[in-house]
Each structure stands twice: as structure tokens, then as C-alpha cells.
Chain A
């Protein structure tokens, strides 16, 4: 079966712009979680959506937001980009909780210049 698909793979944006990243989960999975990965801070949880509702949120500023559609696809948005937002953004899908299987996509590499 198809895995978790993230688009685009690479993005270059300018400080102050906004960006939208997309994640298509494994078919049948209703949970999508987002993570930010940087060399300095490692992998950090951003938020999780289940059936179009945000169930959990990490410690990130309000510039980071997300949503989930009825087909379980999810988007995350970062407004007013800062240089420090440069990172690999990963999404993971699951049928329920992490204990039922949690599969990551290959990520979107965002560079802010």
C-alpha cells in the first residue's frame, strides 16, 4: 500500500513569507501528526489531528498551524517565516494511537533565507 506522502519535498522561502505543507496519510489512517526536525533541537512534536480535530499540540508559537480535511489529508502552515524555521518537517500517520502503528513520510525540507 502507498506510504505517507509529503509535498513538496523541498521549499525555499524568504523571511516574512508564509508556507503551506501537505501530508497525505496511509489509506484508512485517520490520525496525522507533524514534527519539526532540526540539528539543534532534534525531533519536536508540533500537533496531531484526528478526524479533522486537533487532539494535541506541542510548544510552538501560534505562527504554526494546521488542519485536516475529511479525507484525512493534512496541511500545516507557517506564517511570518523566520530563519529558525528552516527544518525538515515530517508528518506521520496512524490508524489510532501510536501503539497501532505510526508511519512517517520522507518530509519536506524547508529553507528560509
Chain B
């Protein structure tokens, strides 16, 4: 397969803290990146995206940072809440590749009250 499916790392945070989830992407030609949240029994849910001509994009309580030099993405969640507990995936795509997304392995976020 094309996505790396390794042992899922877990990030444990206290409610109210800020969370940072990191992701390394594989293709230097990728020009569009998405963060998804997946809860148990559900499909991935869109959180935020960023195009390669940007370094940073902010949403509601979330910020995505893109470092093309080292092919790195991060997702920052402010004031993490118990409802944020889920598995988070980054995905990359190349505009010439139509709708093919390559997903990272995922990170499990556990929020403790």
C-alpha cells in the first residue's frame, strides 16, 4: 500500500491545554493538505486544509502549519476539549492526481478531564 500504517502514536493532554499533532508528508510535489478527525465507528471528518502556497491557516480553535522545506505539517488545537478525543490524520494530494489522497498513519488524541 501507499500510506504508512505503523503503530498509532497517542497524544494525551489535559482538558483546556493546547494540543499539537505532527505529520510528515511524503511527496514534495503535493500541493494540498488536509487534516481529518475520525471518531470510533465514523468516517474521517474534515477539520482544516491548506494549500502549498500558504504557511499557516487558522480555523475555529484549530491552526495548521505547513513547512515545505522539511515536508512537515502540524495541527494545533487550542483549549482542547473531551470532544476532541479521536484519531487525527493528515492527508496530502497533488492537483495532477485528481482525488487521490495519501494519508499519514494517524495520531490518537486522548483528552483527560
Contact = CB atoms under 8 A, between A and B. Distances in A.
Contacts, number: 95
Interface in A77-106: 90, 92, 94, 97-99, 101-106
Contact of A98 (B6, B32, B89): B32
Interface residues of A, number: 32
Interface centre among B41, B46, B93, B99 (most CB of A within 10 A): B99
Given A55-B98, A56-B97, A45 B43 contact: no
What is the interface residue range for chain B against chain A? 20 to 34
Contacts of A55: 98-99
Interface of A: 4, 31, 33, 35-36, 38-45, 48, 50, 55-56, 58-59, 90, 92, 94, 97-99, 101-107
5 contacts: A33-B99, A39-B5, A42-B1, A99-B93, A106-B41
Interface of B: 1-6, 8, 32, 34, 36, 41-46, 49, 51, 89, 91, 93, 95, 97-106
